[in-house]
Amino acid sequence: MKITLLLHNAYAVGATLRGTLALAAALADHHDVELVSMLRHREVPRCAVDPRVRLVPLVDTRVGSDDMAHPLFGEPAVDVPIADRHHHQYSRLTDLRAAEFLRGCDADVVVGTRSGVNVYLARFGPRRALRIAQEPLRYDTHSGLLRAELADPYRALDALVATTEAEAARWRAELPLPGVRVLAVPAVVPAPDANADTGVDVDADGGTRIIVAAGRLVPGERFDLLLAAFSAVCAKDPEWRLRIHGEGPERARLRNLIDGLGLAGRAELAGPRTPDGAEFAGASTAASASDTEASGPALVEAMRRGVPVVGTGRPPGPTELIQVGGGGLLVPCDDGRALAGALLDLAGDPEHRRAMGTAARESARRHGPEPLAERYRVLVEELRATRRSRSVRRALGLARSRARTLPRRAGRA
């Protein structure tokens, strides 16, 4: 089976890209796999690409490239949704190259990995191929305009894949897509390198007790709430430390909050996070107060290292991640007292932390590339078996939609 995965930029860096590359490598154990990158801004990818996987760039944005001199390069894209946050990086040349590639694509399965790329897939993907769109972000992170722009093209898909069951249910409720299989498959989080440090019980050797958090320094990550909760931990045990990895517009405000809470020297804004979760190496606990992240990939990276987690429990946050196999504690969103209590529970009980770290490592294995490659294999078999019945449902749904709009058009006339 030939599988093509469509990416925004395979030459960039990030946890989501790293997961996609790991999935491609796992699929390549049994299939012919290629990666198609809409953009290319450097000579060699920053993240390693399995040598069995072909990498095909479509538009070269390196200074001095022939594509930069192409007359369509300076024209804005019209096929990708204007509300997509990466729209400004695309051009009419991207539209042209994506359409040309997809119309001539001979893959059996084509997988898009973000909204804008998914629209290219829906509009130009070969009808003989199964077309699967991944939605790695929460439904709520898409603007109303973007959701409206996705409605029509997404009806042409075979499947829409969210990262949690709660998010899949939200897509089904808010954006009915007759004939499109809407389901959840967790995001791929590769295992840490074999030689990487893992979570340790620092109490055993008298080392510094460390809580680590990671994410964009933006309001939705609620690092302000985490800092307030951490101050309660320090009041009981001043030996604990908090490291927050990430960059963003909230840095100055969080720096002032650290000073205002008297946490200087105990809480640290530790700079950018790494794409492989190395910041969790040696941590005692990972923490998240976020109310925006769909599947908690940062927490999975911690759990894969055997680090127990404390996370907020409003679906579709890390609720499903922790509830499936343990490895952490859940608290309500916006509840600083509960968050502080959970951190204190783990801080005061090294044996509990150790047991929970073991459970975390086991629970996180389901996010590995091999089990998720198997999930996609099963999905492909299901989509093939139901292709005819889904086509009927899609046609009936389209007919009902047109029937509802005709009276409104007649009234306006």
According to DSSP, residue 333 is labeled: T
Which tokens in the block code for residue 6? 């469509």
Dump pLDDT digits (tens) for 349-376: 899 899 999 988 888 888 889 999 999 9
Record the pTM: 0.83
- Predicted confidence at residue 150, as pLDDT, reads 96
Pick from 285, 309, 306: which is nearest to 209 by CA?
A: 285
| Residues 13-23, mean pLDDT to the nearest whole number | 89
Pick from 398, 310, 320, 333: which is nearest to 363 by CA?
A: 320
Dump pLDDT digits (tens) for 64-121: 999 999 999 999 999 999 999 999 999 999 999 999 999 999 999 999 999 999 999 9
- Predicted confidence at residue 366, as pLDDT, reads 82
Pick from 247, 272, 276: which is nearest to 46 by CA?
A: 276
Query: Which residues does 173 contact at the CB level (< 8 Å), separation at least 6?
Result: none
Instruction: Report whether 57 contacts 406 (CB < 8 A).
Output: no
> Residue 194's pLDDT band (boundaries 50, 70, 90)?
low
What's the burial of 355, exposed, middle or buried (CB within 10 Å: 0-12/13-18/19+)? middle
| Residues 197-216, mean pLDDT to the nearest whole number | 65
Dump pLDDT digits (tens) for 228-260: 999 999 999 999 999 999 999 999 999 999 999
| Residues 272-297, mean pLDDT to the nearest whole number | 78
pLDDT of 294 over the 60 cut: no
Dump pLDDT digits (tens) for 116-151: 999 999 999 999 999 999 998 888 889 999 999 999
Alpha helices in 143-296 (DSSP H): 144-154, 165-174, 223-236, 251-260
> Residue 323's pLDDT band (boundaries 50, 70, 90)?
low
pLDDT of 212 over the 90 cut: yes
- Predicted confidence at residue 201, as pLDDT, reads 47
Q: How far apart are CA 291 and CA 101, in angstroms?
A: 38
Pick from 200, 201, 279: which is nearest to 244 by CA?
A: 279
Share of the chain above pLDDT 70, in %: 89
pLDDT of 157 over the 50 cut: yes
Indicate left, alpha or beta for 265 from its phi (over 0: left) and psi (-120 to 50: alpha).
left
Q: At CA 313, angle to CA 290 and CA 278, rounded to 5?
A: 50
Q: How far apart are CA 263 and CA 292, in angstroms?
A: 26
> Residue 207's pLDDT band (boundaries 50, 70, 90)?
very low
DSSP per residue over 251-314, as a string?
HHHHHHHHHHTT-BTTEEE--PPPTT-GGGTT-SEEEE--SS-SS-HHHHHHHHTT--EEEE-S
- Predicted confidence at residue 311, as pLDDT, reads 85
- Predicted confidence at residue 316, as pLDDT, reads 47
Q: How far apart are CA 313 and CA 319, in angstroms?
A: 5
- Predicted confidence at residue 314, as pLDDT, reads 57
pLDDT of 408 over the 90 cut: no
What mean pLDDT is reported for the chain?
89
